[in-house]
């Protein structure tokens, strides 16, 4: 019987899948849509203007019974979703830390979706594991990291979803190493203590809660006038805890704090950890990318003392979320901490001991093929291309800092070692709040705040893929205008 033009009732239809040909056609449309979005991204207000509940109110109350056309969906993305997007990929995005992306990264991620592999074991897709190991080994000399993080030594690297997960894995391994793997068996007894600075990322506090140490066993060590951890205060606190019968096990130092980009002094902290036999984790979530350029590598001096290290290509290395690179010096400690092997996952490759099963290097079992996007980014740009763009971002931020210094209405609120400038109007919290609110409401740019020494401080971070001098100049002009009015 000939097919009628009218859609057949659902019960008569044999398949509802998108055919490969339709996928091809719609896929081209979506790529076109994204390319057009990038071309016109500066036309949108950077910060979304919707009010709470507005997006949901525009959506149907229940799911459609019958499938809808792809065209209708894409139309709704444009009409309903786009207004609720804050444009992280706008070159006028200077808020938080960046979460940038790039063409090669998006296309690598698309291929990863196409393969749709679940890379929990080497055996479940060998390329997923081996490409990841290989690209993480590439990054060791690219960033000037210690060789002990290479997979060809006792260490190795793995891609985690986020820096929060990486530091949690580090903390769990630290907990087990300190208790000879007894915490895995019996749980924590309230004696283990972890240390970080008062300026560390909030994820460390979350990790301590999840790992069972208890928040009151996290010591927030005082910082100096540049917001960097004071090693003498760390040593004194460890001493005090030992005297109280507690068991210090973990120290997290930060290279580039989220609040002000402070850089903890790794060599003295590392020496204390060595002497006291504490696990030393270094969190360089955004700023680690700067080490692509030899002239910025001094920020990670002392990394030779670290047991583990993490940085996020998904912040500043043109690789879209999620992609955190996590390295350990002794992979055995990590694997022994996280490994559980049920019968249904047993296989010859695992038993041979000659492969990595990355499920043992992370919290979840399952994992996406995230190395593809990172591989594409590194190959597309090359080391020199990446260096070019990182240098440019740092130099734009430094120019911005010099304009702040030269304007007597404003002051720098902290040193600006790389691409984050913390500054404020000298007139107090109220006017600074007004400046932020007006700028963000205008849609011309987006920046966020922090508090340093209990004073409201504006943060200006240059890291979006396409930010150029004209965007930074335009932002400074707008800031000055709002300071006057």
Ligand X SMILES: *Cc1c(COP(=O)(O)O)cnc(C)c1O
Binding site for ligand X (CB under 6 A): 97, 162-164, 201, 203, 254, 257-258, 283, 285-286, 312, 324
Q: Nearest approach, Cβ of 197 to ligand X (angstroms)?
A: 11
Q: Nearest approach, Cβ of 430 to ligand X (angstroms)?
A: 28
| 126-143 and 371-406 helices, crossing angle to 10° | 30
Q: Nearest approach, Cβ of 324 to ligand X (angstroms)?
A: 5
Distances (CA, A) of 108 to 47, 160, 380: 28, 17, 11
- For ligand X, the closer of residues 257 and 337 by Cβ is 257
Q: Nearest approach, Cβ of 22 to ligand X (angstroms)?
A: 36
Q: Nearest approach, Cβ of 43 to ligand X (angstroms)?
A: 28
181 in Cβ contact with 331 (< 8 Å): no
217 in Cβ contact with 249 (< 8 Å): no
Distances (CA, A) of 35 to 26, 103, 469, 475: 14, 9, 22, 25
- For ligand X, the closer of residues 201 and 370 by Cβ is 201
Cα angle 252, 418, 97; round to 5:
65
Alpha helices in 94-243 (DSSP H): 103-115, 126-143, 163-178, 183-186, 202-210, 231-243
282 in Cβ contact with 306 (< 8 Å): yes
Q: Nearest approach, Cβ of 266 to ligand X (angstroms)?
A: 14
Q: Which residues of 167-185 are buried (b: 16+ CB within 10 A; e: fewer)?
A: bbbbbbbbbbbbbeeebbe
279 in Cβ contact with 334 (< 8 Å): no
Distances (CA, A) of 118 to 151, 308, 365, 367: 22, 26, 9, 6
Q: Nearest approach, Cβ of 285 to ligand X (angstroms)?
A: 3
- For ligand X, the closer of residues 125 and 362 by Cβ is 362
Alpha-carbon span 353 to 125, nearest angstrom: 16
């Amino acid at each position: 019987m000939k097919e009628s033009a009218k859609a057949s009732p659902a019960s008569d239809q044999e398949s509802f899948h998108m055919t490969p040909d339709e996928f091809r056609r719609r896929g081209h449309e979506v790529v076109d849509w994204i390319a057009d979005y990038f071309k016109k991204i500066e036309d949108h207000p950077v910060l979304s203007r919707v009010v709470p509940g507005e997006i949901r109110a525009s959506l149907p109350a229940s799911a459609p019974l019958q499938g809808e056309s792809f065209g209708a969906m894409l139309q709704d993305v444009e009409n309903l979703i786009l207004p609720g997007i804050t444009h992280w990929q706008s070159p006028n995005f200077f808020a938080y830390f960046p979460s940038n992306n790039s063409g090669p990264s998006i296309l690598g991620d698309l291929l990863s979706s196409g393969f749709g592999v679940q890379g929990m074991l080497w055996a479940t897709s060998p390329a997923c594991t081996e490409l990841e190991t290989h690209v993480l080994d590439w990054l060791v000399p690219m960033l000037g990291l210690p060789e002990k993080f290479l997979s060809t030594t006792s260490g190795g690297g793995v891609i985690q979803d986020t820096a929060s997960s990486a530091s949690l894995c580090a903390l769990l391994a630290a907990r087990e190493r300190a208790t000879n793997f007894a915490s895995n068996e019996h749980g924590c007894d309230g004696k283990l203590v972890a240390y970080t600075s008062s300026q560390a990322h909030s994820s460390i506090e979350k990790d301590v809660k999840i790992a069972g140490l208890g928040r009151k066993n996290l010591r927030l060590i005082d910082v100096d006038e540049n917001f960097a951890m004071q090693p003498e205060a760390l040593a004194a606190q460890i001493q005090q805890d030992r005297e109280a019968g507690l068991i210090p096990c973990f120290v997290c130092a930060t290279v580039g704090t989220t609040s002000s980009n402070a850089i903890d002094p790794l060599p003295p902290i590392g020496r204390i950890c060595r002497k006291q036999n504490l696990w030393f984790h270094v969190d360089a979530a955004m700023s680690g990318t700067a080490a692509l350029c030899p002239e910025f590598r001094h920020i990670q001096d002392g990394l030779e003392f670290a047991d583990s290290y993490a940085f996020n290509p998904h912040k500043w290395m043109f690789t879209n979320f999620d992609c955190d690179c996590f390295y350990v010096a002794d992979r055995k400690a990590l694997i022994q901490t996280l490994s559980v092997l049920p019968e249904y996952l047993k296989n010859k490759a695992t038993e041979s001991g000659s492969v990595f099963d990355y499920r043992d290097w992370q919290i979840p079992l399952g994992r996406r093929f995230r190395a593809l996007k990172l591989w594409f980014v590194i190959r597309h740009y090359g080391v020199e291309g990446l260096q070019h763009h990182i240098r440019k971002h740092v130099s734009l931020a430094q120019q911005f800092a010099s304009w702040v210094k030269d304007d007597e209405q404003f002051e720098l609120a902290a040193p600006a070692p790389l691409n984050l400038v913390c500054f404020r109007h000298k007139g107090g919290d109220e006017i600074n709040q007004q400046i932020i609110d007006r700028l963000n409401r205008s849609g011309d740019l987006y920046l966020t705040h922090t508090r340093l020494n209990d004073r409201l401080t504006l943060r200006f971070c240059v890291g979006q893929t396409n930010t150029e001098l004209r965007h930074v100049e335009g932002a400074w002009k707008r800031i000055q205008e709002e300071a006057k009015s």
